[in-house]
Amino acid sequence: MTDETTRPWLDPLSVAAQTGTGYPNPFAAPLEGREKRRLGNALGLSQFGVNLVTLAPGSWSSQRHWHAEEDEFVYVLVGQVTLVTDAGEQVLGPGMAAGFPAGKADGHHLINRSDLPVLYLEVGTRAKAEVAQYSDIDMVARKDGGRFIFTRKNGEPYS
């Protein structure tokens, strides 16, 4: 009765995994073991993104950052992942959740310090204009329309 393009459900593993990041080098290297399956996009959603993310052992979710305009949410499905914030480190296992309200100036990221893959869901609002501040490196991201542009904090481009 339905087909791939209109049916409202899917098997997440049928969605192609994407790797890579827009980060300039050397900031992209810690993310090499990250794969994202963009479930929300595949289901026709546009107001928020929902990604099924796999982190290989050693991989990071992102550089540590916080968003000015976009709420973020994480739910751990498989494995043990380390959440890093200004307060330190917290290991989160399956069934644990985390949330990062827009504008809260506490950078966060996830690191897989275990020997096994980690799988989690991440949800984030899609704001038209956005600034992401990076806590540990000389980088800022600005979105005005579609894509994030990454520069030094003084606005100079990375060459």
Nearer to its own copies, 123 or 137 (CB): 123
Minimum gap (Å) between residue 157 Cβ and its own copies: 30
SS3 sequence of 44-107 = CCCCEEEEEEEECCCCECCCCEEECCCCEEEEEEECCEEEEECCEEEEECCCCEEEECCCCCCC
Nearer to its own copies, 49 or 150 (CB): 49
Residue 8 gets which letter from DSSP? S
Minimum gap (Å) between residue 18 Cβ and its own copies: 16
In order of 11, 47, 75, 154, the CA distances from 133 in angstroms are 34, 22, 23, 12
**For residues 90 and 127, what is the distance between their CA atoms, to the nearest angstrom?**
28
Sign of the CA dihedral 13, 79, 84, 69?
positive
Nearer to its own copies, 143 or 150 (CB): 143
Minimum gap (Å) between residue 54 Cβ and its own copies: 13
Nearer to its own copies, 57 or 101 (CB): 101
* Site residues, its own copies (CB under 8 A): 1-2, 7-13, 39-40, 42-48, 50, 52, 70-71, 73, 75, 83, 85, 87-88, 90, 92, 95-102, 104, 106, 108, 121, 123, 125
Minimum gap (Å) between residue 102 Cβ and its own copies: 7
Query: Position of tokens 């026709």?
Result: 44
